[in-house]
Amino acid sequence: MNVVEIMTKKLETIEADASLYDAIEKMIDRRIRSLLVKPKDDKDVNGVITVRDIVTKALAKNLDLNKTKVSEITSKPLVCIDKNTDVEYAVNLMSKFNITRVFVNDGREIIGIISLLDVMSAELIKRAKEGHRA
Amino acid sequence: MLERVFFGAKKEQKVIERISKHIQILHAAAECFKKAIEKKESEQMYCVADLEREADSIRREIMSMIYEGAFLPYLRSNICRFVEIVEEAFDLLKEAASEFDYIGQGLDKEIEEDCIQIADRNLQMSDMLLISFETLFSKGDLREKTLAIRIYEKQVDEIKVDLVRKMTEREVKSFWHGKILSDFVSHLTRISNVIEDASDYLLIINVSLR
Domains assigned to chain B: 2-208 (1.20.58.220)
Q: What count of other Cβ atoms lies within 10 Å of the Cβ of residue B83?
A: 23
For chain A positions 10-39, those within 8 Å of chain B (CB to CB) are: 10, 29-31
Cα of B144 to nearest chain A Cα, Å:
6
Q: What is the pLDDT of residue B1?
A: 44
Q: Is the pLDDT of residue B6 over 70?
A: no
Q: How far apart are CA B174 and CA B182, in angstroms?
A: 12
Question: Domains in chain A, please, with CATH?
Answer: 3-129 (3.10.580.10)
> Measuring CA to CA, how many Å separate B76 from each of A122, A132, B1, B149?
35, 27, 20, 24
Q: Per-residue confidence at B104, pLDDT binned at 50, 70, 90?
A: confident
Q: Tell me if chain B has a CB within 8 Å of the CB of A67.
A: no
Q: What is the pLDDT of residue B74?
A: 87
With contact defined as beta carbons under 8 Å apart, do B180 and B102 qualify? yes
Q: How far apart are CA A73 and CA A71, in angstroms?
A: 6
Exposed/middle/buried for B106, CB within 10 Å: 0-12, 13-18, 19+? Answer: middle
pLDDT per residue as tens digits for the range B37-63? 998 887 888 899 999 999 999 999 999
Cα of A7 to nearest chain B Cα, Å:
12
- Global pTM reads 0.85
For residue B142, give the chain A residue with the closest CA: A128
- Cis omega (within 30 of 0) on the bond before A77? yes
CA B130 from centroid of its chain's CA atoms: 10
Q: Average model confidence (pLDDT) for chain B? A: 90
Q: How far apart are CA A42 and CA B192, in angstroms?
A: 44
Which of A29, A124, A131 is the closest to B148 by Cβ? A124
Chain B residues whose C-beta sits inside 8 Å of any chain A C-beta:
124, 128, 131, 134, 140, 144-145, 147-148, 151-152, 155, 158, 161-162, 165
* Residue contact B158–A125, C-beta within 8 A: no
Identify all chain A residues contacting B144, using CB atoms and an 8 Å cutoff.
124, 127-128
Number of residues that this document lists for chain B? 210
Q: What is the pLDDT of residue B3?
A: 54
Average pLDDT for residues A1-8, to the nearest whole number? 92
Q: How far apart are CA B91 and CA B155, in angstroms?
A: 22
Q: How far apart are CA B97 and CA B103, in angstroms?
A: 10
Residue A62 phi/psi, 5-degree rounding, is: 55, 35
pLDDT per residue as tens digits for the range A43-62? 888 999 999 999 999 999 99
Rounded percentage of chain A residues whose pLDDT exceeds 70: 97
